[in-house]
Structure 1
Amino acid sequence: MDNLQRENWTSRLGFILAAAGSAVGLGNIWRFPYVAGTNGGAAFLVLYLIAIVLIGYPVMVTEMTIGRKTQKNPVGAFKSLAPDAPWWLVGALGVFTGFVILSFYSVVGGWSMAYVVKAANGFIAGTDFGEVFVGHISGVGEPLLWHATFMFLTITIIGSGVVKGIQKAVEVLMPILFVLLLILVFRAITLPGAGEGLAFYLTPDFSQITGQTFLEAIGQSFFTLSLGMGAIITYGSYLSDDDNINDNAAYVAGFDTLIAILAGFAIFPAVFALGFSPDAGPGLVFTILPAVFAEMPLGTIFGFLFFLLLTISAITSAISLLEVVVAYVVDEHQWNRKKAAWLAGIIIFIVGIPPLLGYSTLAEVNFLGMDILDTYDWISGNIFLPLGGLLTAVFAGYAWGARETVEEANKVKGAISVGAIYSFLIKYLVPIAIFIVLVTGVWETIAG
């Protein structure tokens, strides 16, 4: 695709909502509360906020800058900035990572859609919701149908284009997501006994902090912003030369962080008020929260709203993951967007079938004690994502050069300018921190 034909966001708000929608996903609504819950609540929250500022924001500025400068997909972007070196492999890693993540993300998105229907039918007190969840995911036909439905919606949005598809979708979905979350927060904090949950979430006990808490905070801050997978580079490539990078990155990181924090306010007061444990782990959303809604006044309504919120957040992230793959095919191979979206989407759907069946017909298949879906998640989240972020930081700091990156980022003046502090972070702190997360995560999994 010729750059003159390339679409641009038609408004600053459209880009911010799209990039924030990419960042806001299952990582905020599903993963953040359980990671915070298992790492001490408020103490984790403090470290997470520090990591967003020192690691997440600099990498986001970098990826947006690379995208806007080149007006290309991740592979084309690195080829353009370093034509005589194999840095394009970093972009290829991003495209492949987006492909892998979406294949299992769609499965979990399908679970969320199924729970919208379950919630609408009402959660009954006394039900073993762990058994209900296992019963759902260990089926074949129903999870497959929801997986297909989720991918169909994602493909349809991406096939419609950047403005008519992505921007139009997020301009509707993101405000709905925000309003739903505020309603759930209000309901949770007004429950009798919610104060204990608020104290857990807002009163730091730094004696609870361990080395693992630091690593989890860095990892969560990095992964929740959709960094290292080519999504922000791709969305940045639809910015015009008149768009400010530094302010936009701050808005996106800030909005994403706000959603994660609000998710904690929606979940912890309710969990404590009704006598459940905040450290239930990944099952918190699908096994503990239905029990909470079953006990809560007007629980059917709020359960429905919560899983609708979860589904919307999953879709806004899924479209950015598919867009990374589609932008690559459209740019590098001059394919029609709809054709690229359908072909890529169908292949991703097929690649998502093994993790879907990992709880039924392929339940015996495992890697390092993990089922197929957890294996996909672990490889992409603990190896591909941090590796992509690490190499992007090294590229910006040394190959392209911190001076050139800063100059491009500051091209359009705004409230924020980056300079010496950004250069220090992107050249030293960010690569070292990500490297530690990468090595430690792999070592702990293999050793454990």
Structure 2
Amino acid sequence: MERENWTSKLGFILAAAGSAIGLGNIWRFPYVTGTNGGAIFILIYLAAILFIGYPILVSEMTLGRKTEKNPIGAFKKMASNTPWPIVGALGVLSGFVILSYYSVVAGWGMSYIFKSLNFTAESNFPQIFSAHISSFTEPIIWHGIFMFLTIAVIGAGVVNGIQKLVKILMPILFGIIFLLIIRSVTLDGAAAGLSFYLKPDFSAITFQTFTDAISQAFFTLSLGMGVMITYGSYLSEKESINESAAFVLVFDTLVALLAGFAIFPAVFAFGLDPASGPGLTFITLPAVFTQMPFGSFFSLIFFLLLTIAALTSSISMLEVVVAFLVDEYNWNRKKASYLMGCLIFFVGIPPLLGYSSFSNFNFLGMDVLDTYDWFTNSIFLPTGGILTSIFVGHIWGSKNSIEEANKNSSFHIGSIYSLLLKYIVPAAVLFIMLFNIYQTIS
């Protein structure tokens, strides 16, 4: 069976950027920024994206294109009869587990598209959110709808499914976010939010600022879970990896920064707390929207934005799992998509019930969803990123990766990339991983 390829450079960039742009940008980035002092966090985050995110992104793309395989197949082809394919298996497992609870949170966002139509200034938003996530039926229905959409796209294929969808959704995503920014920055009192977001306060720097910035950079770029290896495997040799990776980095960072422009001016304009944590999206922002002219409309399009961003990421996670079965076991794509999608749906039931039937569950002070998230984002992804960097930098060799990345590229990478990939990236990510584990268990 002939392997599919992206039919254009734009198709690949939009798909890879769509994978990177997700809940991490619209849901996670604003509240992490808010709890870490605003502008100063952004400066450190940008450094993390450039010096840690970019080298790993390039290394994963080169590994994928060189082998034309899924994560397990890629390591198997480059280092057969060694334990290295386990790194690829860890990536596939990470994508599988992350999608199971990612779909749950995306389902919350999708439900809010419709809930927001009935919000008023008198609505009790903490109670509304709590009632939704602690009910049994509603979250399961929305989790199921979101997973079905993800399965349908992947079942249609790389070109007819992923590429066709992102070419439609990505422009819509940017259109919605610009509309929200215009509304937010024109509110009375928005200047305080812009100041918080743009004016660095160096006294706000803590060690946690650095760990959160590196963790966010890792999470938002879909690194360590085999997505960029898989997407890179469909990339033609005529295209430039260096430029494509740079575009993905720019698009992903741009959406995260734009989300801040849409959120912080509005939060400050109505005197609410920018450091309200994960509840910023489902509790604080709905309260903000009800106080705006045409608030229901802006609330609806915000949660539509959240859903679109989540969908462009979820399809990349399912593609990793499906590509493995198609490549290694010659499964039919539709069969692999529907079977794995249904299995992931069921694995997502425990975190979904963590606020109702399984509310007594406790692991190191975390509920079921946070436990899934902690294992994947604090252990699986960093481990995958560290080992991939070591493999590409030392086993396959950074010279070979550089040669692959520089093909048909208008700008070349070299010794700085090699130094970062072989030494700086593994050391920094390992340090952050151990620090996060220590913080959780201590």
Give the TM interval when normalised to the shorter protein.
Answer: over 0.9
Task: Identify the match of residue 51 of structure 2 among 42, 49, 54.
Answer: 54
* Native 8 Å contact 1:122 1:294 kept in 2: no
Map of 1:57-68 to 2, 5 A cutoff?
57-68=54-65
Separation in 2, partners of 1:403, 1:98:
29
Deviations 1:31-67 (A, max 9, x none): 0000000000000000001111101011100011001
* Native 8 Å contact 1:196 1:269 kept in 2: yes
Ranges of 4+ aligned residues in structure 1 off by more than 3 Å: none
Map of 1:71-220 to 2, 5 A cutoff?
71-119=68-116, 121-220=117-216
Matched, 1:396 2:392: yes
Matched, 1:417 2:412: yes
TM-score (norm 1): 0.98
* Native 8 Å contact 1:90 1:392 kept in 2: yes
Which amino acid in the other structure matches residue 122 of structure 2?
A: G
* Native 8 Å contact 2:64 2:229 kept in 1: yes
Task: Identify the match of residue 70 of structure 1 among 60, 67, 70.
Answer: 67
Matched, 1:243 2:234: no
Give the C-alpha shift of residue 404 in structure 1: 1.1
Separation in 2, partners of 1:104, 1:80:
31
Give the C-alpha shift of residue 128 in structure 1: 1.7
Give the C-alpha shift of residue 413 in structure 1: 2.4
Identity across matched positions, percent: 62
Structure-1 residue corresponding to 2:438: 443
Which amino acid in the other structure matches residue 265 of structure 1?
A: F
Structure-1 residue corresponding to 2:37: 40
Deviations 1:52-105 (A, max 9, x none): 110101110001100100000000001111113211111000000000000000
Deviations 1:273-296 (A, max 9, x none): 011000000110001000000111
Separation in 2, partners of 1:296, 1:330:
49
* Native 8 Å contact 1:38 1:280 kept in 2: yes
Separation in 1, partners of 2:97, 2:212:
22
Map of 1:13-24 to 2, 5 A cutoff?
13-24=10-21
| Pairwise CA RMSD | 0.7
Separation in 1, partners of 2:398, 2:156:
37
Matched, 1:282 2:278: yes
Deviations 1:225-260 (A, max 9, x none): 000000010000000111110000000011000000
Separation in 2, partners of 1:267, 1:29:
9
Give the C-alpha shift of residue 126 in structure 1: 2.5
Structure-2 residue corresponding to 1:375: 371
Separation in 2, partners of 1:130, 1:242:
52
Which sections of structure 1, spanning at least 5 residues, go unmatched? none
Structure-2 residue corresponding to 1:430: 425
Which sections of structure 2, spanning at least 5 residues, go unmatched? none
* Native 8 Å contact 1:155 1:341 kept in 2: yes
Separation in 1, partners of 2:182, 2:382:
36
Matched, 1:341 2:337: yes
What is the aligned residue count?
442
Separation in 2, partners of 1:424, 1:375:
34
